[in-house]
Amino acid sequence: MRARQTRPKLLQAVIDAFSLPDLRRRILIVLGILVIFRFVAHIPLPGVDLGALQELFERNQLLGMLDMFSGGAMKRFSVAAMGVYPYITASIVMQLLVPVIPRLRALSQEGEAGRHKVNMITHWLTVPLAGLQGYGQLVYLRHEGIIATTAVLPIATMVVSMIAGTMFLVWLGELITEYGIGNGISIIIFGGIVAGLPEMLGQGFLAKENFFGLAFYLLIALATTVFIVIFTEAHRRVPVQYAKSVFRGGRMYRQSGSTHIPLRVNTAGMIPLIFAMSMVMFPGVVASYFVNPVEPNFANTIMGLFNPGAALPMGLFYWGLYFLLTVAFAFFYTMVIFEQQDLPGTLQRQGGFIPGIRPGKHTKDYLDHVIKNITWAGAFFLALVAVMPFLAREITSIQVMQLSSMGMLIVVGVVLDTLKQLEAQLVMRRYEGFIK
């Protein structure tokens, strides 16, 4: 009955959003920028054998998964082949460096001006990271015979074009953040993932030899989506009380109020998945340069162990290591973020306290204990989502479709965040929201 009542409100909220000129303009700006992004994703770099590149992606599942994040731009090897991921990498590096380097920590505490400077440093760091990633992709494709040229000038031109493509997409994302609705960088990634879904679903339905397996595969994908929504929104409420003095009418009055701190079960988001995937991918990428197809050597063994497409029992090593690393990085990144937030210090400065807990060190110990306990649930949730593609493939025997754990986390997170921001815009205009 509750779902039946919510559906008209959702439709009514969308109608209300389009009936307001400023909200309609913001939504149309987002859609227009996504169209521009899709055009850029179809501009190929010169000197690439697209036929050989297509064959390479068909036999390499890892490249196929990365191509899904770029919306097919990597398979076409367009100027947007790297997407905005060098910027994401730069942002993660800056998040880890800010609490370590005193100068950066001081900048982050200088308010809006300081955050603007940190953001500029992140943009400058994106350029060399994009150059390294683009050159690495070119070296790999040249090793596979996709790119024939070895001249310095054509290679430099390709690298510069890929850097320009990445920075252009970052600029488009910031335009969405400023003039549209939602986080622009996340929406650009979301657009790339969603753009590849129709082709993937079409390949799945064309493979009619395993109809029941395909139906069960889609059921697993739906259940995983529900699972992600539940844990993305889950949080532990820690009660907080505030006491302050107010001088009114020549007399001092004591006022108090109560609220709560929402500690998220999955504080780290999808960052642990990125860290863990980078770790398990690196040995296989290095080994691929030394593989001998005629006389198998040690590099061939490493390549087999760190191959996400390997069947049982070989695949257990890759996905088991991926599971454990995801749990470890979830704890590591959660504690880094929690230390940066400095909740005990913020409470003490604002005159807040947790009932029954003394301020200062006792509050810090209590919050550390709570965040560690709930992070166990968040860490195992991320680890299960990480290995879900392997489980779905082994249970259903579907090989033509690729269920991406990071892709599903991004899609669900972006949709929820954008809907909340749209609801906030409607509430400010005294329209009824639709998220309960």
DSSP result, 333-344: HHHHHHHHHTHH
What the block records as the tokens of 113 is 């001006």
Other Cβ atoms less than 10 A from the Cβ of 83: the count is: 26
H or E element at residue 383 = helix 361-396
- What CA–CA distance (Å, rounded) separates 187 from 102? 33
Q: Domains plus CATH for the chain?
A: 1-207+403-436 (1.10.3370.10), 208-399 (1.10.3370.10)
Summary count for the chain: helices (H), strands (E): 18, 3
pLDDT of res. 12: 65
pLDDT of res. 70: 65
- What CA–CA distance (Å, rounded) separates 256 from 237? 19
pLDDT of res. 253: 47
Q: Using an 8 Å Cβ cutoff, are 85 and 130 in contact?
A: no
- What CA–CA distance (Å, rounded) separates 397 from 214? 9
- Give, in degrees to the nearest 5, the angle at Cα 384 between 383 and 390: 105
- What CA–CA distance (Å, rounded) separates 84 from 130? 9
pLDDT of res. 251: 57
Identify which of 430, 327, 424 has the alpha carbon closest to the alpha carbon of residue 372.
327
- What CA–CA distance (Å, rounded) separates 25 from 294? 60
pLDDT of res. 433: 47
What the block records as the tokens of 357 is 């807990």
DSSP label at residue 435: -
Show the DSSP H helices in 41-84 as ranges: 50-59, 61-69, 73-76
Q: Each residue's pLDDT tens digit in the chain (436 positions)?
A: 333 444 445 566 667 777 788 888 888 999 999 999 988 888 888 777 777 777 777 666 666 666 666 666 777 788 888 888 888 888 888 887 887 888 888 887 777 788 888 889 999 999 999 998 888 888 877 877 777 777 888 888 889 999 999 999 999 999 998 888 888 888 888 888 887 777 766 666 665 556 676 777 778 888 888 888 888 888 888 888 876 554 455 554 445 556 778 888 888 887 788 778 777 877 776 776 676 666 777 777 777 777 776 667 777 888 888 899 999 988 988 888 887 777 887 777 777 778 888 887 888 888 888 888 999 988 998 888 888 877 877 777 766 566 677 778 888 888 888 888 887 777 776 654 444 4
Q: Using an 8 Å Cβ cutoff, are 108 and 118 in contact?
A: yes
Residue 82 main-chain phi, psi, to 5 deg: -90, -10
pLDDT of res. 360: 79
H or E element at residue 260 = strand 251-264
pLDDT of res. 3: 39
Q: Helix 21-40 and helix 405-428: axis angle, to 10°?
A: 160
Q: Give me the residue label for tokens 């395909």.
A: 214
pLDDT of res. 66: 64
- What CA–CA distance (Å, rounded) separates 405 from 426? 32
Residues with Cβ within 8 Å of residue 351, at least 6 apart in sequence: 242, 243, 244
